[in-house]
A and B are shown apart, each in its own frame.
Chain A
Amino acid sequence: MQKYSLIIVSILITFLVSCNTPGSAPVASNTETPKKCCDHHKPAEPVAEISVDELFENAEKYNGKLVTVHGLCIHTCRHSGKRMFIKGDHDDYLLLISAGESITNFEASLEGSQISATGVISVLRSGCGHNHADGHSCSAAASAQQLEMLCQEFKSVS
């Protein structure tokens, strides 16, 4: 009986250790150097450091790019802790930041702090999303762009 228990424990430990061992993934046959398992947690090259305002004013330029954005954290998701908003000087410029795989969570204590977050930007919505054939015009807030960052790393700078 004890023999079987030892076998089960050994299988569990082997499985756990082998899952995330660097170099365990199959390497492609080309000359590319295989990436270490944790390389995706860190930016590979220097990234542009900008404010939330600059990001919103040049949204298309930064769409799909890896950038570091500075702003004031005004809200964190109190259910999942996986999202937060940072703002710039302009009240309509709110950047939604979603936690990437390497981030545990955004704690509520970040609210009110200056944040520096690095990640890839995507434009969720540009303009108000409908035509104005019916003659009305949208408010500034409604027509504001919605941008999201998939965050790889962040720090509180205040």
Chain B
Amino acid sequence: MQINWRKINRVIHRDLGYFFFGMVIIYGLSGIAMNHRNDWNPNYIITHVESPLMADSTLLTGTDEAFRNYLKEQNIRQQYKSHFSPAPNQIRIFLEGESTLTLNFQRETQVYESIRKRPVFYQVNLLHYNPGTWWKWFSDIFAVSLILIAITGLFILKGKNGITRRGAWLTIAGILLPVLFLLFYS
């Protein structure tokens, strides 16, 4: 029996492509998010609201009860969790629901910070940052498969658009570009 290598090549390329479609999207999206992590926070939507501080400095040494009363006065309905002093003349109050209220007695301001998970990006980043051993092995298989998809992709077509003609030039260009970047940055 003669082995049809082109057929095997096509099947490998097609089926790995189908199977890892989701993984390519996950790593593609989180890759964009990571590239721009200095410009935005892909995991959380963080908002700050600054307002004048309506408390005197006795609250710097206040009890848990004093902070609960202050939150009530400020019409903040989230439950008090705990507090600490991040710097002299400052108190940060942690609230239930991933929020904080930071009191600055020097500048006489308070900043309410709320955090919520950014849909889709939080989840894809969690996976990108390797959440556990099983995922590590699965993403290793994905990485090897991605190499296979790339190699088999070279030999899908014959003729003028195949690897011996048009395909060769595009492949060379695609390899040269990262090499040029490497030379430029090193």
Q: List 22 A-B contacts (CB under 8 A).
A: A5-B15, A8-B11, A8-B15, A20-B133, A72-B82, A74-B92, A78-B46, A78-B115, A81-B43, A91-B84, A91-B85, A101-B133, A101-B136, A102-B133, A104-B126, A104-B131, A108-B115, A112-B82, A112-B83, A112-B95, A112-B100, A113-B81
The stretch among A11-19, A28-36, A121-129 that forms the contact with chain B is: A11-19
Is the pair A80, B81 in contact by a Cβ cutoff of 8 Å? no
Is the pair A15, B141 in contact by a Cβ cutoff of 8 Å? yes
B101 CB to nearest A CB, Å: 11
How many A-B pairs fall under 8 Å by CB?
79
Interface: A109 (CB within 8 A): yes
Which of A8, A19, A78 lies in contact with B12, CB distance below 8 A?
Answer: A8
Which of B8, B85, B94 lies in contact with A112, CB distance below 8 A?
Answer: B94
Is the pair A1, B141 in contact by a Cβ cutoff of 8 Å? no
B7 surroundings in chain A (CB, below 8 A): 1, 4
Interface: A111 (CB within 8 A): yes
Interface: B55 (CB within 8 A): no
Interface: B44 (CB within 8 A): yes
- B contact residues vs A (CB 8 Å cutoff): 7-8, 11-12, 15-16, 19, 37, 41-44, 46, 81-86, 92, 94-95, 98, 100, 115, 126, 129, 131-134, 136-138, 140-141, 145
Which of B98, B131, B141 lies in contact with A12, CB distance below 8 A?
Answer: B141
Q: How far is the CA of A12 from the CA of B7 in the complex (A)?
A: 19
Interface: A44 (CB within 8 A): no
Is the pair A19, B137 in contact by a Cβ cutoff of 8 Å? yes
Interface: A70 (CB within 8 A): no
Contact status of A78 and B43, CB under 8 A, knowing A12-B141, A111-B100: yes
